[in-house]
């Protein structure tokens, strides 16, 4: 999508996506009534890793090489 973003733009996009996904995780935890603290904490802790993958593969496409 965006091949030429500055570092501050990348950081801003990453931060916003992490916060949005944490909000979605909180709503999922509340909606499903998850009472296990381990599952809830794991759901929260995986959001930055998921956003990093989204950033690498979809937003900035830095995870793909041009050689194929």
pTM of the predicted model as reported, rounded to 2 decimal places: 0.80
Tally the C-alpha atoms within 13 A of residue 25's C-alpha that lie toward its C-beta.
18
- The answer to whether residue 67 sits within a structural domain is no
The pLDDT of residue 16 is: 95
Q: Which domain holds residue 31?
A: 7-59
- The answer to whether residue 2 sits within a structural domain is no
Structure confidence by residue, pLDDT tens digits, 22-64: 999 999 999 999 999 999 999 999 999 999 998 888 887 776 6
Give the three-class secondary structure for 42.
helix
Give the three-class secondary structure for 30.
helix
Number of domains in the chain: 1
pLDDT top residue among 7 and 23: 23
- 8 A C-beta contact, residue 60 and residue 10: yes
56: left (phi over 0), alpha (psi -120 to 50) or beta: alpha
- The answer to whether residue 33 sits within a structural domain is yes
């Amino acid at each position: 999508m965006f091949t030429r973003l500055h570092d501050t733009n990348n950081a801003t996009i990453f931060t916003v996506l992490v916060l949005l996904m944490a909000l979605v995780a909180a709503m999922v935890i509340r909606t499903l009534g998850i009472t296990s603290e381990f599952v809830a904490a794991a759901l929260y802790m995986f959001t930055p890793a998921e956003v990093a993958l989204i950033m690498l593969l979809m937003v900035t496409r830095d995870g793909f090489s041009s050689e194929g």
